[in-house]
């Protein structure tokens, strides 16, 4: 499998070098592309000084735009699969080969599930994740144990779909959309670490906004796509 790790990075100077080093050590055959999403810190300098393949957005465009940019790069360079890989060190690259194996066997999406590993999100995130999982189940018939996991791998067909889309984000509502359209979605058990540095975007207010928007999209907006 020709796999590309797309690493969206916004102000990740504290974590990026260790994250990339871990990825290279664990998966030397996996290519990487850092999407520097208009960072205001040293993220660009780190990419340049280390020779990381990277694309720099002129302003902070957000995850959806950055990830679609990575998908367009993957499509143009003929990759078989793309794994969404956080720059903050939470994702463990040791799971990438198992994910790629499922893609090779016909899966469209493979999700690294903390729930299957007995380490699901807790507190407000856990409640929100459980609600999203339930909504996906009742609207698509597919059970996704960890819909908010950010470590997802997409096969070649979905690379083309993301590359051509303008409103498709790598988020739970897109997973629900693909499940409703009959795409094969597989989960594997996976542990994840805490953020290894920097500041998370997800404070309580943003968690509530994210969960509300995602639930509304699953219930309403996906039916018009």
pLDDT in tens, 39-57: 999 999 999 999 999 999 9
Distances 209 to 22, 170, 197 between C-alpha atoms, Å: 32, 17, 24
* pLDDT at residue 225 in the model: 65
* pLDDT at residue 169 in the model: 85
Read out DSSP for 86-151? -TTS-S-GGGHHHHHHHHHTT-SEEEEETTTTT----HHHHHHHHHHHHHHHHHHS---S-TT-S-
* pLDDT at residue 204 in the model: 60
Cα–Cα distance measured from residue 5 to residue 31, given in angstroms and rounded to the nearest whole number: 6
Whether residue 140 contacts residue 179, with contact meaning beta carbons closer than 8 Å, is answered with yes
CATH number of the domain bearing residue 175: 3.90.550.10
The residue range of the domain holding 204 is 3-224
Cα–Cα distance measured from residue 203 to residue 205, given in angstroms and rounded to the nearest whole number: 6
Q: What angle do CA 146, 149, 154 make, to 5 degrees?
A: 105
**Partners of 186 in the β-ladder:** 110
Q: Pairing state of beta strands 3-9 and 31-36? A: parallel
- Number of domains forming the structure of the chain: 1
Distances 206 to 51, 86, 129, 133, 195 between C-alpha atoms, Å: 34, 18, 14, 19, 17
Q: What is the pLDDT of residues 110-147, one digit of tens each?
A: 999 999 999 877 777 788 889 999 999 999 999 999 99
Q: Which residues of the chain have pLDDT under 70?
A: 195-207, 221-225
* pLDDT at residue 63 in the model: 86
* pLDDT at residue 220 in the model: 78
Would you report the helix, strand and coil content of the chain in percent, each value rounded to 5?
45, 15, 40
Distances 207 to 25, 129, 148, 180 between C-alpha atoms, Å: 33, 11, 11, 25
Distances 137 to 36, 141, 172 between C-alpha atoms, Å: 35, 5, 12
Cα–Cα distance measured from residue 135 to residue 129, given in angstroms and rounded to the nearest whole number: 10
Stated length of the chain: 225
**Partners of 110 in the β-ladder:** 153, 186
* pLDDT at residue 217 in the model: 85
């Amino acid at each position: 499998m020709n796999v590309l790790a797309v690493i969206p990075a916004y102000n990740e100077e504290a974590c990026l070098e260790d994250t990339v080093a871990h990825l290279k050590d664990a998966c030397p055959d996996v290519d990487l592309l850092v999407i520097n999403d208009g960072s205001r810190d040293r993220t660009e300098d780190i990419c340049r000084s280390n020779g990381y393949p990277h694309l720099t957005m002129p302003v902070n465009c957000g995850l959806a735009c950055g990830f679609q940019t990575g998908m367009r790069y993957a499509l143009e360079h003929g990759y078989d699969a793309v794994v969404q890989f956080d720059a903050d060190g939470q994702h463990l690259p040791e799971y990438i080969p198992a994910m790629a194996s499922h893609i090779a066997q016909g899966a469209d999406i493979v999700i690294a599930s903390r729930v299957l590993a007995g380490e699901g999100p807790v507190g407000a995130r856990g409640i929100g994740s459980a609600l999203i999982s339930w909504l996906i189940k009742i609207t698509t018939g597919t059970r996704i144990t960890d819909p908010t996991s950010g470590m997802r791998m997409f096969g070649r067909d979905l690379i083309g779909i993301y590359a051509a889309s303008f409103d498709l984000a790598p988020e739970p509502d897109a997973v629900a959309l693909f499940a409703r359209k009959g795409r094969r979605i597989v989960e594997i058990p996976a542990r994840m670490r805490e953020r290894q540095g920097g500041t998370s975007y997800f404070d309580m207010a943003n968690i509530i906004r994210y969960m509300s928007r995602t639930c509304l999209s699953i219930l309403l907006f996906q039916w018009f796509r």
